[in-house]
Structure 1
Amino acid sequence: MWFLSIYGLCVISNAIKMMIYNTNFHCINYIFFPFIFNIDRCEICDITARGDRMLMQVGCIKQKWTGPLIMTSEAKKHVNMAKCHIHLHILIRSAFAEVSRVKISHNLEFSHGSSISAHCLIPGKFKLIGDSLLTCLNGRWKGRFPICIHTNAYTNYSDDLPPALQWTVSRGAGLLDSSGTLVMLPGSILHMDCLFPRLQGNPTWTWTQNYRQYPTGWAIDQEERELHYRLSIYYAKTRDSGMFTCLTPNGLSNFIHILFKDVKCPVVDGGHLLQVLGNNEVLGTTLTFSCPTGYTLTGPQSLTCLPTGLWSDVVPRCSMVRCPSLRPEDPQLQVRSINTSYTGTAVFICVPGYRLLGPRFIRCTSNGSWTDVVPTCEEILCPIPREPGNGWISWIGTLRVGDAVTFDCNKGYTLRGHSLSFCQKDATWTHKTPKCIVSCPHPGDPDQGRIKPRRSQYPLNSTISVTCHPGYRQPNDATNAVTCLRSRAWSGPIPHCQPDYGYMHQEHL
């Protein structure tokens, strides 16, 4: 069933010789044997059912056993290589005084065949012991596990620790890549200092390439000359790349990898709206971005050209400022119109019978917020009008917009003003409170005459007169008019009418 071409012969383990059905490895390069898995003890398998019976297949490939390859009772075969793990507490206890001193480029669990690179967070200030690149091979790491140890910079330059390394760039640019290598542009001028007390002797700088010799010696600056043993690279070329090591007189060393290469990142194209500060795309360049008023920056505010030739993040873009939509919680409030873009406005009104508490409109600002809070509505209620003297007021219920009150006066008084007033939407009344003034009653019409003007009540100082019917007249000595006095009585008797005999004679003729 599993007849395959032969790559070579593998030596079978004594632990499984007694379980093999077919040991003719000249014919096949895979073997099977039954195996009962105990999940509690299995560290390299991915079995879901505890105690499930499996067929384990081990492949002989290029004279090496490869596997295990697992076949379940349902005949589903899959390669099940173990994962590798890095435990954070082990890193802290055995490798680093602080986790921040190590930078690992992946997660803490890794599948078979994956690799991780590690370097000290500040190369030169710490020294890496071990391999910077580890590869996961079936549950085991290939390579010496790296640790970062202190240099003399942390112990007042003790001669029991490796020397610390520092560098300064007087021309050009440089950045550390993910492996801890210092990547610099060709043409740069670089000064590397090995920190070691001058009184204890001269350190020695060495390098891996034989392209040229570099000037070394103690720094000239007064503050550095007793501690900084310097190597300088002037106008570097790509052939200057390599590992530079400082060896102290007591036999301790530290090193740094330097790579000189022309690194250029892609031209940034953010459209006509994106404003870019900076016009270079080489290694170490930082571009800063902004947007015109009314637009907001979506993405990072700045980008740096990395040693990989890529920018440190995606290019941002300018998006039109939008203020949040408004959904009033007040059921009496209505948004009459709204524009959520920059300088746009939202206009509010209340349903009839309610008034706004707050601004009638708000504006969208350049930072995407409204100039004020959303207003609310309150019901319009008119105050109860003042009751007229010698009179009264009447109404029903709460005085809302459109409701009316009525005014009336006590007996003997007459209303001067409006007897009816309505509540308006500005919480005022259509008419002022009227007055109740002294009045005189209608005295009654005299025989053959008529009182004018005709009213039921006559206000104080009102005057009435009598008009006689045809054929009648008032006496010659009679007063034609009487006035209403404060005592609510008339100033005199009501004029009466008598026959007009002259009128009758003319009628007779």
Structure 2
Amino acid sequence: GGYRAGLTIGHGSTVNVRCELSTNANPIEMSCHKGNLTPPSIPCESGLRKSRQELEHATPTPTPTTSVRSRLEHNELDEHHQHHDNGTDEHGDDLKMCGHPSLTDGALVYKNPDHAEIDGAYDSGTEIFFNCIPNAAGDRQTWRIICDNGQWIGRSYNCENGTCLFKNNEPNVVSFYNDLEIREDIVEFPPGATIISRCVDIGKFSMTGSHDRTCIHSEWTNTKPVCSGLNQENDYAMEKAPTILFRHQNGPIAQSNNGKLIVYPGTTVHMECLWMRRFGNPKWNVSHSYKNYTEGWVTEADEGRDSTLEYRLSVFDAVAEDSGSYSCMTPARHEHAVEVVVKAINCPEIPIRRGLIVNTNDTKLSTRVLLSCSNGNSLIGASELFCLPSGNWSALLPVCESVECGDIPLMANNVSSPRVSVLSREVGGRAAFSCSTGYGLRGPTEAICLPTGEWATPFPTCVEVQCDNPGAPQNGYAQGSAPYRAGDVVQFNCNPEYMMQGQPIIACQDNGRWSGGLPKCVQACSYPGTAISGRMSSVKFYYAIGESITFTCDAGLDLRGSKVLKCMKNGKWSSAIPTCVTNDAPAGGVNTNKHLGTMG
């Protein structure tokens, strides 16, 4: 009674404090120790109900999608409700109330009439039921939340039955929708869509989670599947369950969408459990007692198998009674099981369609059918089909359609547009292009009729042809002037004492190239001269370096001089031409020489 606001409390002193307007009349003792009060403060409650605004300010109202603290099943909610009902009489004033919950789109809110709303707040233990507005099919879903000491517990679903986003990013998991594998990374599915999943290899991976999930209220039901590698994927670690390998003979096997091994009747299946033999023998367990199956390590007689690693169980000539669970347990007590279903799966027979060619009429499980069209028709649809474990073909049956290509859209009376000659308008047919004289094609020389009924592009154009300046040979010159258009010719000549090697005339072609290469002018010997009463072995304007000519005289005349002349590197003959003289003419006599004539 002696303390007033502003007075100092000494070290070791105590003060009794009581809240005003409090329902609790007992005072609280506060002590001072080295300048600090213990307790530092006391809460004062008036005992009156707080207003709705105060409650909302003090305790934020959770939203159905982000503020759910935990999800309770109906029996758990009932236990909470019963617990709070039993304790309301004794401790009702000590429990916090909940503010008004947020409404969900398309939902109607009802509260338990046993717990009345007080100024926009709800007592602890109050249950609120949500009823979705029925959809077109009449489906309706109801759920509830409960106030637990100031917090709403439970989960509010979205009443709008929207789409679900599927992320195909889980490794070693393969998922199916409507019996088709989902290959895209992200896919949006409609409400009610069901996805079936399994491991990519049911013998090498073990799956946890659900095989089936359905899109309901924009969320996927059940647990997302996860596939974990077994001992083969983990360097044959002893703490991992064993990998099971499958081999088959005399019939097909396949993995179903939900992770079962489908075996066609009459097929022989070998299931090999992988375990290091030096650590003991595994044990095969079968869920039925139809027969006792032989098991044991593979032998060296099994080509390509490892007798130190593969412990086999074989099912010969499988029948329906062989169906069941086959599990392999290691000496380390780790186990992996495979569900085997022996069933004659056959897909529908492929009907005969005009022009459709199939490579097989077999419809058994896992059969692959290749399809094509005759007479150049276009195949509309898949070119191959697989018989799936569901008994359905992997795609719809394609059809063959007769396709013809129309006219090629080219501008008429335009020098840049080529002329077209259509050889065939059927699929695979060709159209040839050409240009007028002086113009050449730029682009493909022909177009092919595609299965779409269109000609393959691009189309060529016609451009005026010009050839590059060919130049002139060394020690020679060219006759002609640029520009050189298609059909123009150039003539080459060599300087005196030189002869030409190559074509003396070339022409500019429609493709912009010359008809021949540039000739060469090489040094040579000119014609040595004329003579009478004799003959030369070769008569030309020019003789190549190193070339020789031989001289002879007519009957009754003698050759005076060198019989053979050779063209030297300097373009000169090795000697002067010889002469023909009479037999009785003295050497160097006058009027007795006769010039050599050409050898005829």
Smaller-chain TM-score bracket: 0.5 to 0.7
SS in 2 for 1:232: strand
- Verify: 1:147 aligned to 2:226, yes or no: yes
1:43-75 CA-to-partner distances (Å, cap 9, x unmatched) read: xx457xxxxxx743699xxxxx9853249xxxx
Aligned to 1:340: 425
After superposition, the Cα gap between the structure-2 partners of 1:297 and 1:37, relative to the gap in structure 1 and judged at 3 Å, is: same
What amino acid is aligned across from residue 232 of structure 2 in structure 1? Answer: A
Q: Distance in 2 between matches of 1:343 and 1:200?
A: 65
The Cα shift of 1:226 comes to: 0.8
1:86-105 CA-to-partner distances (Å, cap 9, x unmatched) read: 775xx96xxxxxx3401233
What amino acid is aligned across from residue 104 of structure 1 in structure 2? Answer: S
- Verify: 1:167 aligned to 2:246, yes or no: yes
Identify the match of residue 309 of structure 1 among 358, 368, 391. 391
1:102-126 CA-to-partner distances (Å, cap 9, x unmatched) read: 1233577677765433211111111
Structural mapping, 1:125-136, within 5 Å: 125-134=204-213
Q: Distance in 2 between matches of 1:66 and 1:114?
A: 27
Identify the match of residue 328 of structure 2 among 228, 234, 246. 246
What amino acid is aligned across from residue 192 of structure 1 in structure 2? Answer: M
- Verify: 1:105 aligned to 2:168, yes or no: no
Structural mapping, 1:410-449, within 5 Å: none
Aligned to 2:369: 287
Contact persistence 2:164–2:191 (CA under 8 A): no
- Verify: 1:69 aligned to 2:69, yes or no: no
Query: Which runs of no fewer than 5 residues in structure 2 stay unpaired?
Result: 1-76, 85-98, 113-127, 142-158, 178-185, 466-600
Query: Which runs of no fewer than 5 residues in structure 1 stay unpaired?
Result: 1-9, 18-33, 39-44, 48-53, 60-64, 72-76, 93-98, 381-509
1:199-220 CA-to-partner distances (Å, cap 9, x unmatched) read: 1111111122222221111111
Q: Distance in 2 between matches of 1:135 and 1:243?
A: 26
Aligned to 2:409: 327
The Cα shift of 1:239 comes to: 1.7
Contact persistence 2:408–2:455 (CA under 8 A): no
Q: Distance in 1 between matches of 2:222 and 2:455?
A: 60
The Cα shift of 1:361 comes to: 9.3
| Cα RMSD for the two superposed structures | 4.5
After superposition, the Cα gap between the structure-2 partners of 1:179 and 1:355, relative to the gap in structure 1 and judged at 3 Å, is: same
Aligned to 1:157: 236
- Identity rate, percent: 27
Contact persistence 2:264–2:344 (CA under 8 A): yes
What amino acid is aligned across from residue 263 of structure 2 in structure 1? Answer: M
Q: Distance in 2 between matches of 1:361 and 1:85?
A: 53
Q: Distance in 1 between matches of 2:164 and 2:446?
A: 58
- Verify: 1:258 aligned to 2:311, yes or no: no
Aligned to 1:480: none
The Cα shift of 1:241 comes to: 1.2
Aligned to 2:65: none
1:120-177 CA-to-partner distances (Å, cap 9, x unmatched) read: 1111111112332345666776655432112110222110111111000022001111
What amino acid is aligned across from residue 341 of structure 1 in structure 2? Answer: E
SS in 2 for 1:105: strand
After superposition, the Cα gap between the structure-2 partners of 1:101 and 1:342, relative to the gap in structure 1 and judged at 3 Å, is: closer
Q: Distance in 2 between matches of 1:104 and 1:69?
A: 31
Contact persistence 2:345–2:364 (CA under 8 A): yes
After superposition, the Cα gap between the structure-2 partners of 1:356 and 1:81, relative to the gap in structure 1 and judged at 3 Å, is: same
The Cα shift of 1:311 comes to: 0.9
Identify the match of residue 273 of structure 2 among 165, 176, 194. 194
TM-score by length of 2: 0.45
The Cα shift of 1:297 comes to: 2.7
Identify the match of residue 271 of structure 1 among 319, 328, 353. 353
Mean Cα deviation higher: 106-115 or 237-246: 106-115
TM-score by length of 1: 0.52
Q: Distance in 2 between matches of 1:82 and 1:35?
A: 25
Q: Distance in 2 between matches of 1:378 and 1:209?
A: 82
After superposition, the Cα gap between the structure-2 partners of 1:140 and 1:301, relative to the gap in structure 1 and judged at 3 Å, is: closer
- Verify: 1:124 aligned to 2:203, yes or no: yes
- Tell me the matched-pair count: 322
Q: Distance in 1 between matches of 2:340 and 2:236?
A: 24
The Cα shift of 1:295 comes to: 2.5
Q: Distance in 1 between matches of 2:189 and 2:430?
A: 55
The Cα shift of 1:362 comes to: 5.0
What amino acid is aligned across from residue 247 of structure 1 in structure 2? Answer: M
Contact persistence 1:349–1:356 (CA under 8 A): no
The Cα shift of 1:82 comes to: 6.4
Contact persistence 1:334–1:348 (CA under 8 A): yes
